[in-house]
Amino acid sequence: MSVYKSKLIVVLNIIFKRKQAIFELTTIRIFDIKTRLFSGDVAQLGERGVRNAEVRGSIPLISTTFLQLRKKKNPARVALLSAGDEGGVSMQRSVVVNRKTKETAIKIHLNIDGSGIVDISTGIPFFDHMLTLFAAHGLFDLMIDATGDLEVDPHHTVEDVGLVLGDAFNKSLGDRKGINRYGHAVVPMDDALTSVTADLSNRPFLVYNISGDKGAATDFAILPAREFFRAFATRGGMNLHVNIFYGENEHHMIESVFKAAGKALDKASALNERRKDVPSTKGSL
């Protein structure tokens, strides 16, 4: 930011010091935010991060400006948010959600504008494998640390991870302004083919159709996967349609479901630079 712009911001801040909303509006109008977009941070953010930051660019710039001017008043907050701004991290939609019950303890860190960095431990290796595929193909950064009463049944852990991951998506999406809202993917895995269609409508509803042969049962089979997606869609405020068209191998069938879900949700959750408001003619989601 040029010296001229910095000084102008100081002046604006003094003029509007009790009217933050006006200050923000003024700043957005004056500067072309895209021109100062994290010079040097592109490599860290990746293409999608930059694109999303461009869409949302105005907000971090303004927070940074406020932080610089109010540094003396709240140093801890300044340090936290400034660090994020320097690394471009604050531009991304990133949340941490914790949930602990008598059956399970789950911690999830999700960045829906990530690059597919995954670290998952649920105690159910096949579930870890599926969630890894979901995040890797959806380009989400996802850390899941879950422990549950697996000696009773994997069901509690599977369902509760679905609930907490749904919460994490819901929190990440915020007021859902600027998102595509809809996303669709059809993904093959050798003999299996699945489509997932997502509408981030805030109207939870799961459709889960299995046309093919269900194959041999595993400890994380097609039906437990459905319970995961039911919990996930409910808490995530999503309408999800999962259609498993066919498949001979159950592992491949479920794998195509999780990959397709990741890709569909990547598209649906991404910010669209042409959309400034909530993608609903009602005005809210």
Please report, for residues 50, 70, 174, 239, 266, the alpha-carbon distance to residue 182 in angstroms, rounded to integers and kept in the order given: 21, 40, 16, 10, 10
Q: Which C-beta is closer to Mn ion: that of 66 or that of 220? A: 220
Q: Which C-beta is closer to Mn ion: that of 127 or that of 229? A: 127
Task: Report how far residue 154's alpha carbon sits from residue 160's, in angstroms, rounded to the nearest whole number.
Answer: 10
Tokens of 250: 């159950």
Q: Which C-beta is closer to Mn ion: that of 119 or that of 277? A: 119
Binding mask 8-47 for Mn ion (x = CB under 5 A): ----------------------------------------
Q: In angstroms, give the least distance from the CB of 266 to Mn ion.
A: 20
Q: Which C-beta is closer to Mn ion: that of 250 or that of 255? A: 255
Tell me the window of 22-30, 32-40, 134-142, 250-258 that interacts with Mn ion (CB under 5 A): 250-258
Task: Report how far residue 246's alpha carbon sits from residue 213's, in angstroms, rounded to the nearest whole number.
Answer: 7
Binding mask 252-281 for Mn ion (x = CB under 5 A): ---x--------------------------
Tell me the window of 11-19, 56-64, 241-249, 251-259 that interacts with Mn ion (CB under 5 A): 251-259
Tell me the window of 42-50, 98-106, 136-144, 248-256 that interacts with Mn ion (CB under 5 A): 248-256
Q: In angstroms, give the least distance from the CB of 133 to Mn ion.
A: 7
Q: In angstroms, give the least distance from the CB of 118 to Mn ion.
A: 14
Please return the burial class of 228, using the count of CB atoms within 10 Å of its CB with bins 0-12, 13-18 and 19+. Answer: buried
Q: In angstroms, give the least distance from the CB of 12 to Mn ion.
A: 55
List of residues 6+ apart from 241 with CB closer than 8 A: 195, 196, 197, 198, 207, 209
Task: Report how far residue 104's alpha carbon sits from residue 144's, in angstroms, rounded to the nearest whole number.
Answer: 13
Q: In angstroms, give the least distance from the CB of 255 to Mn ion.
A: 5
* Triad 208, 210, 212: Cα angle to 5°: 165
- Site size toward Mn ion (CB under 5 A) is 1
The HSE-up count of residue 14 (CA atoms within 13 Å, CB side) is 5
Q: In angstroms, give the least distance from the CB of 185 to Mn ion.
A: 17
Q: Which C-beta is closer to Mn ion: that of 94 or that of 256? A: 256
Q: In angstroms, give the least distance from the CB of 220 to Mn ion.
A: 12
Residue of closest CB approach to Mn ion: 255
Please report the DSSP string for 54-108 in residue order.
HHHTHHHHHHHHHHHHTTTT-HHHHHHHHHHHHHTGGGS-EEEEEEE-SSEEEEE
Pairing of the two strands 182-189 and 205-210: unpaired
Q: Which C-beta is closer to Mn ion: that of 126 or that of 140? A: 126
Q: Which C-beta is closer to Mn ion: that of 128 or that of 167? A: 128
* Triad 43, 186, 171: Cα angle to 5°: 55
| Residues near Mn ion, by CB under 5 A | 255
